[in-house]
Each structure stands twice: as C-alpha cells, then as structure tokens.
Structure 1
Amino acid sequence: MYRNLIMQISFMKFPTVILVTFVLAFLFSASTTEAGNATSDRLALQSFKASADLLEKLLSWTGNNPCSGLWQGVKCESGRVRHLVLEGLQLSGPITKLSQLDELRILSLDNNMLNGSLPNFSSLKYMKSLYLSHNQFSGPIPDSISLLSRLRRLDLSKNFLSGSIPPSLNLTSELLTLKLEDNQLTGPLPNLKLIKLQDFNVSGNQLTGPIPSSLSNFSISSFQGNNELCGVPLLVCDTSQPTNPDLSGDQNPMVVSSSPSLKPAASEKKKGPVRLGTGALIAIVVGDIAVVVLITCFFILYYWKKYNQSDASARAKRKADPEKLVFNAVNYPLHAESDKGKLVFMDGRKQFELEDLLRASAEMLGKGTFGTAYKAVLEDGSVVAVKRLKDMSIAGRKEFEQQMELIGKLRHPNLVCLRAYYYAREEKLLVYDYLPSGNLYTLLHGNRGPGRTPLDWTTRVKIALGAARGLAFIHHQCKPQKLPHGNIKSSNVLLDKNGNACISDFGLVLMASSSVVASRLIGYRAPEHLESKKISQKADVYSFGVLLLEILTGKAPAQSYAREEGVDLPKWVQSVVQEEWTAEVFDLELLRYKNIEEEMVAMLQIAMACVSQAPEQRPRMSQVVKMIEGIIGEQHSPQRDDSFDCISMSPSVSEGTSH
C-alpha cells in the first residue's frame, strides 16, 4: 500500500507532496503508537500472571492477543484492555504491573490473596470501578486515587490497610461507592463532601473523633466497630471533658459520655468531693421511693376514673344511637335515600348493604390522584377497600354507570377488579377487595435504611412481567376504542398474596379533568402529552418504560411537588449509557446478585425502547410482554387474555404513596 502511495506522490507537485507526506507520517505514527499500546497491555498482563498466578488458574491466557476474547476476565475495545475481572482465583503477590493498563475502566480482583502496597493509580485516568476487597493489601491508601476523576466505585474493604483516610478523596467528585470497612485505618474521619455518595462504610477500623456532618446521614452500620468514633448516628461526642495537665499525653480528650454524672460541676473544680454518711444515703433513697409511689398512685387513680367516665359515655351513646356511623373517615350521611343511590355489584350478587359499608370501621390508607382510599372492616369480619372519588369531570349518573360497566367487564389475573360502586349526586364510591401485600413503589423506595429487605432481581422481573401482561390485556380488550390506562406508575402496581403484580386505577383517568391528570403524572408522562394534553396507549407504553427504569435503577421518577425527590429517569439513564458505562444505572441492591448482568441489560434495552421520544417507535405492550418473557425464558401462561377470574386485590394500598 505504501509503495503505491509513494509512486503516486512522485507525480505530484511539491507542496502537495509535502502535505501528503505529512499525512502518511501521521497515520503511520498513530498506527505504530496503537500497536505499541496494545503490546504494552499484553506485556503488563503477562507480567502480572507470571507473578500472581502461582496456581495456574489463568490457563486461557495464551497467545499474544489478550483482546481475542479468549483470555479469562479480559474485555477490550479498540484493541485496548478496558475491563479486567479476576475474582476468587487465589491470585497472590502485588498488582503494580496492572497500573500500566492506562485504558482500564473496571478492575475487580475481589476474593484473592493479593498483597503488598497499593500501587500508584495516577496512570489509570479512565478508571470508573476499582474492586480490591477480601485481599491482603497493607500500607496506606495512596493519594493517587484522588487523581481518578471518573472513579465511581471504590471498594478496598477487608484488607490490612493502615494509616489515615486521605482527605484528597474529595477530589473524586463522581464517587458513588466508598467501602473501607474491616481494615486497620486510624485517625479522624475526613470531612468528605461527596454529594453523589450512596454506599459508604468504614466500620471495623480504629478511627477516632467525631463523625463529620457530611457523613452523618449514613446508617450506624457504616461506622460500627470504631470504639473511639462518636457523633451522629453514633453516641454524642462529649466535648466538656476539661484539659488536665496532670493527665498522660496519650489520653484522648474526645470521649463518649455515658452518664451526666461524669461531667464535673463547677464547684467540684474548686473543692474536694463531699462524702455523705450512711444514714443520709438511706434517708435519700427512702424519700425518693416514697415520692415515686405517691406519683404512681395518683396517675393510676386519675386514668382509672377517666376511663370509667369515657366508657360509660360510649356505652350510653351506642344505646341511644344503634346506627352509629363508625365509617366516619368517609363522613357520608346515612340518609342516602334522598339521593336515590344504591350499591351496585358488578357480578349482580349483593354481598352486603350500603349501610353495612358505612357502619364499618375505617382506616384511611392514603390520598391518590383520583381520591382517598380506605380500608373498611365490615361487621362480619370481611375486609374491603373503598375509594372515594374526587375531581371527577363526569356529568351524570348514566355516563358514570357506563364507565363503571366498562371497567367492571375487565377481568384478568394481573388487573385489580372492580367489585361494586355507589353513585349519588354528591358522593361516588368504588369498592374493591382489600390487599395488604403492598405496592411496587413502597417495595422499591420504602425504608432504604438499616433493616430493609432488598427487592431481589427475580421478584422485580416477576412484577414487571405481571404488570406488562395486565396493561397488554387492557390495550387488547379496549383496542376498538383505543382506550388507555392513563395512570401507569409504581404506586398503582399492587401485589397479591402470592407476589403477583396487578394494575389498579384503570378507567378512572377517563373521568378526571385533564388538569388533574397533567399535574399528577410528571415523572411518567410521555413527551407528546405536553403538547396534545391527550392520553393514549402509546403514552401508556412510555409510562411503562419509566416503570421498568424505576425497577432497574431503584430511583423514583421526578414528581410534581417540589418537596419530593426524583430524577428524569429516561434522560438520566440515556446520559449514563452514552458514557459507555451501562452498569452505573443499576440499583446498588442488585449488584449483590451474580450472573444477572445480561438479563438486566436486556431489560434496560426494553425500557429504552418504550421511552422512545417518537410514539410510533415504541413497541406495543403485547410485544413488550414477549420480550420480557424472552429474558427469563418463560413460556406464555395458559391463562392470559382469555382469563376472566380476578385475583383478590385492592387499589387501596397503592394510594399510600400515590402522587
């Protein structure tokens, strides 16, 4: 190739010859540099293998091309090593040679026997994830880590690292994970102001002094095992201990207060301790006991008398008014006959009267987009959920009844079924079966602190598939009218006693004013809704895509109220994926599970297809169901669109966190 180019150059004019020669030289130099870099990667890996793989676990590392796809744990791009994952292979020795892999993005060497000091990481300027836990590294944490400006995950836990935690870690502003537990680190905690930090742990070290306010929002488990560490969330630091020149210099003045009596009084600084006689001590103890007994007797008499009075009043009131309205949360008048209203059951079988419902003891479960939900316990012990509608734009009884008939006909294992309804001029009630098993929003975002039971990947996929099937059924049954659900969000995905996902609130959006719908669906609203203000089945697909992103990321979508936290999930995920680091989008709680990366990426691709900006580019829900089934290798269930048996469930649970 170069010979032909040289022959052509000989026939060119002199200035052109110079230009072409310069370009050829540049291309030749670039190709030579690239080849040299690839060779450097190979030599670094071979050198590391020679010193660390004494048990010959890396038998696949043969040949001269680590990017052939055959080298275990090595992934490349453009001929350069980008990922190196060698976990649990009993590797030993130092890792200094690996610092020459200057294009490395991920380095994971967990659960080995690697030792020595941590190397200078300054050459790994593209590093995003560094996992070195469960090894035998010793010495200090190098300051060179602070030069890794793109670093997001740092796990140095369960080693023998010593010295202090470098304050220069503040320079790693993109850090999401910092795990340093179970080492031998000493000194105070630096004031780390890493605003993106989500996973932090320094437990099981020898750290001392107060916990900086910038780290106090993490749980107790993040700091336990450091006996000299104090401050929120641990015990309060005692700063009142006086400085005494007679004390030995190695005593730490920053101690945790265990009793107020340990704090010296002002008079004690001037005088010696006052000794009390035995008789005085006995008199003080007896006096204290007598006072406590008298106060206790007084409160017992007071509350006994008050209880008797209130109980008598309640009995008298029940006797005078046997039709007492216990269902006072709804505050509905018993004189319903004036409104000519009645309780209509969808299957035609009357199970209880309206008066039974109104006399039931009620508990408000929450306020949602279309009204307030209550748990009502009837006198026979059965439990139902009642939704009291509000902000409905529907005109009259006939239109309302037609809408209820449409909703009531939809029966599917993944839909919440309407059992009965009540219509009056000033009051509209919907009755559903009660389901106490919770909703997806609570499972994903509730109690993210200590003691939380994470939502595992298998359960998340099962919920996603169930919700997809329910929504696909709605779209299929309402295909002639092209009726959408219009309110797809995680708080409207409920779980039955077997953990099956069921969609609630179908059809209610068709009776609500457009302003209500627009104001409550910010995080899930399709982009075309901003202009047309209309809901559609394609907009449902977009909302379901946001729901999938919520399941994958563990992040709540942006909501309509300023006080609520949340992100624009489609935009955030797209920005992360464009940086060629797809794994960053996934929920930290999912990272503990092995061998699910491919399934998560496949689910992410489905979600991104659903949230396409152009509605015509979004798949149909029936296609989404097939794609999710393909991920888990599940065949179509025999009870699908032709099933009309409704699993017992309730929309009430969904309202606790509805926005």
Structure 2
Amino acid sequence: MCSTKAFIIFISTLSLYFSSSLISAQIANDTDTLLQFRLQTDPHGNLLTNWTTSNACIASWRGVKCTNGRVTALMLPYLDLRGPVDALAELDQLRVLDLHSNRLNGTILPITHCSNLKLIYLSNNDFSGEIPSDIVALKRLVRLDISDNNLEGSIPKEVSKLSRLLTIRLQNNVLTGQVPDLSTPLPGLKEFNLSNNELLGKLPEVLQRKFGYTSFSGNAGLCGLSPFPICSSKNSPPSAAIAQIVPSNPSSLPDASSNANQEKGRGKKGLSTASIVAIVVGNVVVLLVITSFFVAYYCGKHSGENDLSSKGRDKRRSGGSYTSEKKVYASTGSVDSDGTTASDRSKLVFFDKRKQFVLEDLLRASAEMLGKGNIGTVYRAVLEDGCIVAVKRLKDANPCGRKEFEQYMDVIGKLRHHNIVRLRAYYYAKEEKLLVFDYLSNGSLHSLLHGNRGPGRIPLDWTTRISLVLGAARGLARIHEEYSVSKIPHGNVKSSNVLLDKNGVACISDFGLALLLSPIHATARLGGYRAPEQVESKKLSQKADVYSFGVLLLEMLTGKAPTLCPSPSQLRETEQGVDLPKWVRSVVRDEWTAEVFDPELLRYKNIEEELVAMLQVGLACVAQQAEKRPTMVEVAKMIEDIRVEQSPLGEDLDGSRSSLSPSLATTEDALTNC
C-alpha cells in the first residue's frame, strides 16, 4: 500500500517537473522568436532598444504583453520596422497583433500559424502577395485590418468560415475578382471595407445595403444598386472595368497584330466581324491620339494659355498648368541633357500599386487652383473617374538633375504615417515638375482658427483643437524619427500646413519641399515660423521645427495669427500677425495668464488646467536656446498626457478613430478616396 502511494507521488512529481520544464521551454521559445523577429525588422537595434534581456515577459519588453509567462500581445505601431513577419509564426498563444503603420513586407501567410489570434492590425505596411486561404485556421479572429498594403488576388472564400469576425478592412490594396457574399455566414459582421481595390462583378445587394456605398467605392468594375452602374442580365462587370488600360506613351497602344495574335491564341481560324471592327476602331483611335499630340504641341507652342487642362479654361484664367507638357509626345526620340528621354518624361512615377493613372488623365482633369505659395501652385484635380487629387506644380525649385530629384522624391514618398499627407506620385521633366498628393477635403487648421471671425462664427472647440495639434505633433515626430540620423527637418511648419482629411484627422503637409531649395533660399521662401537662430544661420533644422510647432501651439491657444518670419524689428503686432512667443512671455511674466487664451476657449468650463498645461508645452518648444527645446517625440507625449483618453484621436484596440465634432462635419463625399 505504501509502495503504491509512493509510486503515485513519484509520478505526480515527475509530471509537475516535466510540465514546469515544458512551460519554461515555451517561454524561452517565445523570447527567442521575438529576438528573431527583431533581427529581421530592426537590424540596427535602434527601435526595440530594451529587447535585450533573456526573458521577454519578466523584463516588460516594449510592446509585448504576456499572460502566465506566454506572449499574448505584440503591439508595435508607428516604429518604421522593416522586413518580413515570418518569425512570428511560432507565437502560438498570440491574441493581439498590432503592427500597423510600419514598413513590413513579404506575405501575411506566417501569421496564419498563430491560431489563437483575435485581433490583427497590419494596415499601412508593404505586404504583398495574396490573402492566404490558410486564414481559415484563425477560428477565434474578431478583427482583421490589413488595409493600405499591396495585397493582390481574390478574397478567399475561406473568410466566410471565420464566424466570429466583426471587422474586415481590406481597403486600399490591389485585390481583384468578385466580392464574396458574407452576409449569411457572418451575421455579426459590423464593418466591411473593400474600397479602392480592383474588384469587379455584381456587388451582393445585402452587403451594399448594410455597409453603404463608401465601403465599396473606388472599384471601377463593380455594378449593383445606385450609385453603382446597373449590372447586365448576366451580372457581368461594366465594360469600363475590363477595358485594356494603356500607358501614356502612344507607341504602346495595342495594334492590329497584337489583336490578331490574341485571336489566334483562342484557337480561331479567322477574324470575326467584331474583331475586325475593333481593329479598325483601334487604328482610328491611335491616329486621333497621335494627331491630338501634334495639335497640342502646336497650340502649346503658340498659345499664351497657361491652364491646368483645357476643360478648366472657362473657370481658371490664371495660374500654372501641365498643358505645355503635351509637347513631350511630339518627339519620341529626343533626349535631354540630363539623360531624360521622351518616354521617361511621359510617365508619372507612383509609390504604390493602388489606383494609378497616367499623365493624360491628369491633363484632362477638371482643375481648380487652391492657392499659390513661394515654391509652387496647388490645384484640386478631379479625374474622369471621380478620383480627386491635389497637384503641386513646382516653380523655381532647385534645378537639380533627374537622379537627384528622384532621390528627394524617394525620401518623401516612402514616408507613411496616418498624420502625414502622402505623396502618391511625381512627374519630372527639365521644364516641369509635378507632385501628386492625396487630397484632404476639410481645409487647414489655419482656416479653422482664423476664418470668419466675428458674429455667426462656429467656434473651434477645445477638444477638437487638442486633437488636431496632437495629430500634427505625431506626424512631425515621425518625420524626425525617420530621419534622426540625417537630421532632415520638415522646414515649413505652420498652421496652413496642417490639413484635415474627410474624417477630421490632422495631417502635416509640405514635408520634403525644403530639399528642393538651397538652405538659404529654403529659410527665406518657405514661410514657416522661423526660430531665432535661423536669423543668423539661415539653416533649417529639426530643433527649428520644434520652435515652429511651439508657435503653432501658441496660435491654437491664443487664436492670434503669428508673424511667419519675425525679425528683431518685428516685436509688435503687424499686418501679418504678432510675434507670439514674445507676446505670450510678456503676458505670463506680468501674471495676466488668462489674457493669453482665445476668448472662444474661455466659454468652456473646467479646462483651465489643460489650457495652462498646453501653454507650458508651447513655451518649452519656443525656448530661445535650441538645445533646451524638447524633441517632437517628447512634445507628442506631453500633449497625450494632458488629455489622451478624451482626445478624438485616441485609439482603442480596434484602431478606430473618432471624427471631428459635429460643428466640423465632413461635406466631401467618398469620391475623395481614390
């Protein structure tokens, strides 16, 4: 009897020993897995700096959450991590994966091995390939956000088997094929966004009624209920969606021989009547296009018109345009002194695969001039498919060669962040340089602060103001972090360069334009809020950016328009504005702090502490000595600490963001998302 009890005790002890050993091994495996992930995505070790100890859970590694010694959450957004996520396949207890707004690449297949995942946020990266059918293994998945990548192929039918899904965000990719009907197998689905892909065919009526037009806009091949085109009797996509898309170079247009070869490939012995008609029409189109290029060249050479496109002449008689660039096509064999051929000049260079268009689309666009600056003119261009973009036509920029210009554009175009206006494409020719940006439909912080002051104005409330400057701070901090080694500044921080998208999210614009000017010219012409040291040094810097942002904070708090570039003689209020840092210091010094704040803010109760806290952040940024100013990362953190839980930009695990207050409701429709 005693021997039996002893044997049982021995077996139990042995089981506990092996269980403990197994758990220890699993914990060690999780740590090793994360270290491998770090090697792949942070090879220089300057991002995940505390991932150095032997145990990821005990040492509280950045972005790592553990339960019972196992890694259950990995949250590392906005870190500029680069590389694949292959190593993460070993984290079998992972529940939350939030890596949005990095530069991760490769496929998303490895994460399908993390069978316990509930929340996946991988938006705004560089993932490519198809959505794997193995995603069906993620039975517990609740939220799936893989938007704003370069994913292609069709949406796998296996998604319909993930019965717990509440959110599916696949917008802004290059997905093709038809939209699967997920209404019946996924009755709990609350959010479904497939906008801005290349989907085609009939859109299931139940899905369209449930999620609305905006969830499927930007897919030219879809048909269904209004405002989509009506489907044919066979529910085939509109002809526009399957028409062959040709590049801007006329020599690349399909010819009769290519059509004939295609017919032979189908096994036909001869050409059908429809094929012959198509060939004839194609040749006529080619002839008309070539003729139009010569006409455009002649008119551009002899006409004084200077419009964005011929369609807008009746609306816009002043400002720059691209019309003169049509002469590029008149000489397909010419080569510029910098090695640029006519073929090169005819192309727009895009930074991602989604929703590309050709130069001719831009030339035909209906355009409206939004404003002129010291470095160029900005237009709002509406393409024929309804897509809206902002186009900046540069003037008097540094006359750099093509290679140097492309290097500058690469710096700007590869920077992705939720609070930075994105450069979508550029066009280079010796005599013309164009930048194409996402169009943001809600104006600027400057117009919201200073526009229509007086009776009848709807004040910009405190919650909205703090959310907008927080967004701008995050965007500027990302720029400084991205280029911490090369110390590339923004160089033109001011309230008119803080733009609002259709959801009321603040984005910093005009980053990188300082690269196109010499330092002295950039300081003089860009017009941002100039720091004291720039009067003598004539140089831009990240510390000067912090000063400029501090002036922007004071502008938000006081409601006063500052002098853009104050000199020692501009110490009092002028027609251009007021030297805000000096004026605020004088008021605070005399203990009249309440006199500093915008009267529109004083109507709100119980925000005095927040106002004073924000004022202290602003004054820290405008310190006279550059070395005493905080970094933009520190500034963003200080603003978050003031009121982060109440900010409209605050994020939950779902990654959702609230929009502006009702007084700033969006008026632009979904066609701005192209």
| TM range, smaller chain | 0.3 to 0.5
- The structure with the largest alpha-carbon Rg is 1
- Calculate the TM-score normalised by the size of structure 2: 0.46
- Tell me: higher relative CO, structure 1 or 2? Use CA pairs within 8 A at least 6 residues apart: 1
